[in-house]
Amino acid sequence: MTTAPSPNVPLALRRRAAIALVLGSLAAAAWAASADRMHGMTMADRFSVGSFGFFVVLWVLMMAAMMFPSVWPAVALYGLVLRRRPATAARAPGRLGAFVAGYLGSWTVAGLIAFGLLAGARAAGLGDLSDEQVARDVVAPVALLGAAYQAVPFKQACLSHCRGPLSFFLQHWRDGPQGALLMGARHGGYCVGCCWLLMVVLLALGVMSLTWMAAVSLAIAAEKLAPARWARYASGLLAAALVVLGVVAAARPSWLPGVDAGTGGMDMGDM
């Protein structure tokens, strides 16, 4: 990774800001598109989200909305490295696009698994349960499992790659557009390894809920973007929040946003 002399700081900052603006705009557009596709959908059948094609498109939009803010440091660093290398400076926009596409590709694969989990939940009859039953029998154990996963070494190893993009690129650098795609997919794989149980929590709470989407997105961003000296505390706070969620879901499910204590239907339009 031979580089040219370092660019001046203001230019580097402007480029990082430009990448942040682009990713932020894409995330905002994905939030709007997700809300549009969810419009009018209810949780009467909380484990059904339409056809396979509809779900995959919705899932990709959701991942772009939820993950682009926290993947920004890796994309910005990759762009900086590309522009400091004379051979790749002019190709930086295309390589960045390939990196992001690879990243979303890993989350798309995770979405296929999520679709299978929802199909399994429907086949098991979980869609016939009331909101309170779903909270106690599904949300509570999944949330507590997510809290325990915070301390698993595999989770921490994946999280370290997400938090330290420099070490990631030093270990996994690949040249060319195919290399950019593969690096994006690998980085996305670490992200999936870090966050997959949070996504299962989201599936249990209601994948069509913008409220819970926002809550999970903020939790992911806080854990990944926290300064190094606060990193351990951020993970601990997330674990504590999941424990609280599990206890509330088991003991007082009606306290959870969107849970209707009177009927079996959870109307996401009201959220």
Q: Does 258 reside within a domain?
A: yes
**Model confidence over 121-180: pLDDT tens digits?**
888 888 788 888 989 999 999 999 999 999 999 999 999 989 888 989 999 999 999 999
Confidence of residue 238 (pLDDT cuts 50, 70, 90): very high
Q: For residue 206, is it left (φ>0), alpha (ψ between -120 and 50) or beta?
A: left
| Domain region containing 158 | 9-270
* pLDDT reading at 182 higher than 90: yes
Q: Does 3 reside within a domain?
A: no
pLDDT at 24: 81
Q: Does 2 reside within a domain?
A: no
pLDDT, greater one: 232 or 46: 232
Can you read off the two tokens belonging to residue 126?
A: 């979980």
pLDDT at 11: 65
* pLDDT reading at 45 higher than 70: no
Average pLDDT over residues 80-94: 82
pLDDT at 261: 58
pLDDT at 251: 94
CA dihedral (122, 126, 130, 132) positive or negative: negative
Q: Does 253 reside within a domain?
A: yes
* pLDDT reading at 194 higher than 90: yes
Q: Are 24 and 253 in contact (CB under 8 A)?
A: no
Q: How many domains are there within the chain? A: 1
Q: Indicate the burial class of 47 (C-beta count within 10 angstroms; 0-12, 13-18, 19 or more).
A: buried
pLDDT at 3: 46
Q: Does 1 reside within a domain?
A: no
d(C-alpha 17, C-alpha 139), whole Å:
38
* pLDDT reading at 252 higher than 80: yes
**Model confidence over 11-36: pLDDT tens digits?**
667 777 777 788 888 888 888 888 88
Q: For residue 42, is it left (φ>0), alpha (ψ between -120 and 50) or beta?
A: beta
* pLDDT reading at 268 higher than 80: no
- Prediction pTM value: 0.84
* pLDDT reading at 205 higher than 80: yes
Can you read off the two tokens belonging to residue 105?
A: 């590709």
Confidence of residue 4 (pLDDT cuts 50, 70, 90): very low
pLDDT, greater one: 231 or 104: 104
pLDDT at 269: 40
